[in-house]
Structure 1
Amino acid sequence: MRFLERIEERPGAAELRASSYRLLGLKRGATCVDVACGAGHAVAELARKGLKVTGIDADPDAIEAARERAPGAMFHVAHSDDLPLEAASMDGYRALRLFHLLEDPAPTIAEAHRVLRPGGRIVVGGQDYGFLMIDSADQDLTDVVLLGLESRSAAPRAARSLRDLLLDAKFTDVEVQVHTEVVTDHHQLEPQLEAAADAAVTKALITQEDADAWIAEQIRRGRRDRFLAALPTVLVSASAPTG
């Protein structure tokens, strides 16, 4: 839960959420489901905008935290491919930071199609880990470390395929946006950097010596105000078919 909270409270996260709300374009009183809602930041913000929001997450601890953050919203512990919602009951569907966890995203998109009313709006997205950039004196080593980071997810490059998935499911008016968060504070990403290096060692992509040297370089960069990372997030919006 601390990890989820840290992600949503990083600089740029609030603007990313706001962008997803603009793409949904829902009016006060509309129904909306936030799938993989985590600790409920988006649910709470959408509820304050006057929407009737339902939060869904497979993690009971996340749902417990979300209920505390948005006590007036509806919540369910459920998986994205089996939502406890009636067909055509939602005006909007939102799912960010979900698809890199899924082996097969098609059932989740099919379920989104089922619960959305005709003409309803969908916004899906997440980071494509193949596009992450971290500056380093040894860029080849950095690229291998980032492969270690990718190995921690079932589908680390899923975000680039979301447009295809929505088009294949007959959604219309499909639009793609890319939001890039630039991070110059090493401490913001320190846990992720260490996790990436550890994963690269575990996968035998690099040695422990390589990992230690790379982490030490990133720490030195942070101390000298030379740390730089760019984290692109893909947002894909569309409308449910009306025919």
Structure 2
Amino acid sequence: MTSPAFETTTPDRTAYLDRVAATDLGRFYKGRMLDELDIRPGQTALDLGCGPGTDLASLARAVTATGTVIGVDHDRATVDTARERTADQSTVTVRLGDIHDLPLPDDTADRARTDRVLQHVADPAQALREIHRVLRPGGRLVMGEPDWDTLAVDHPDSDLSRAYTRFVADEVVRNARIGRELPRLAAAAGFAVPTVIPVTPVFRDAEAADKILGLERTARRAVAAGHLTEEGAGRWLDHLSTGPFLAAVTFYIVVAERS
């Protein structure tokens, strides 16, 4: 089932996040999220689920030397990496913490962002209530999340692709449909939601898509879970690696404001 075009081992979290950020897609949607944050000099901005600090420098530039950036992540190793990467930036601090119970007082921040974080958390509604608590009145939250139920991968045997995408949406990602759910969940947490921006990347190169989607690694999991047969997965991957390739998934940027 192995194709030389596809990865068979899972990259570590830091390498994967850095990889996505370096793609044209990553630069585009992260830039759009930063634009929607509309950060002003002197403000306090939060990066919740900051990982290894991939986006902390851009936030620091936006708040300028008169502002403050606080990164929060639950993983100690990535917090340590983020601290190392921002050691020369006096406006940036990174804290170990849980997005469901943020280590911050009420009305702390003017701006907050989450980037592909809420798809993984245990309780997105509670996370949004916490973000609402720590934002000041008039504060703005910008979230970016995929909707994995929109994942489409072209293949002559549509049943194989459908089995794969159902597996991703139903079993691989904890909150797979969070992209479409964000406006409703944010409103329930007390936010106004003035803007929802769909971004639909279309992948035409199988190897580039695999670096984001993990096609073979996920297909192996689908076989183990009984969603695909070994023969079907092999046939599916063989075509993807040799034939014309097309895959797409919708990513939502959602702007929420605290009144």
Tell me the alpha carbon deviations over residues 170-226 of structure 1, each in whole angstroms, 9 at most, x when there is no partner. Answer: 2124311111222222212325101221121122111111111111111112xxxx2
* Greater mean deviation of Cα atoms: 173-182 or 76-85: 173-182
How many angstroms apart in 2 are the aligned matches of 1:69 and 1:135? 40
Q: Is the 8 A contact 2:100 2:123 kept in 1?
A: no
Partner of 1:57 in structure 2?
A: 73
Is the Cα contact below 8 Å between 2:187 and 2:193 reproduced in 1? no
Residue type of the partner of 1:56?
V
For structure 1, the residue ranges without an aligned partner over 5 or more in a row are none
- Asked whether the equivalents of residues 123 and 237 of structure 1 are also in contact (C-alpha less than 8 Å), the reply is yes
Paired amino acid for 1:197? A
In 2, are the aligned partners of 1:90 and 1:120 still within 8 Å (CA)?
yes
CA contact (8 A) 1:12 1:181 kept: yes
| Equivalences for residues 1-243 of structure 1 within 5 A | 1-49=14-62, 50=64, 51-71=67-87, 72=89, 73-150=92-169, 151-190=171-210, 192-221=214-243, 226-241=244-259
TM-score w.r.t. structure 2 length? 0.87
Aligned amino acid, residue 167 of structure 1: A
Deviations 1:85-135 (A, max 9, x none): 111010011011111112321110110011000010011121110111222
Residue 30 of structure 1, CA deviation: 0.8
Residue 101 of structure 1: SS of its match in structure 2? coil
How many percent of aligned residue pairs carry the same amino acid?
A: 31
Larger relative contact order (Cα-Cα within 8 Å, sequence gap ≥ 6): 2
SS in 2 for 1:129: strand
Q: How many Å separate the matches in 2 of 1:30 and 1:183?
A: 37
Specify the SS of the correspondent of 2:226.
coil
RMSD, aligned CA: 1.5
Q: TM-score w.r.t. structure 1 length?
A: 0.92
CA displacement at 1:230 relative to structure 2: 1.6
Contact preservation (8 Å) 1:149, 1:199: no
Which amino acid is the alignment partner of residue 23 of structure 2? R
CA distance in 1, matches of 2:54, 2:141: 18
Number of aligned positions between the proteins: 237
Contact between 1:34 and 1:55, CA under 8 Å: does it hold in 2? Answer: yes
CA–CA distance in structure 1, aligned partners of residues 78 and 175 of structure 2: 22
Q: Which runs of 5+ in 2 are unaligned?
A: 1-13
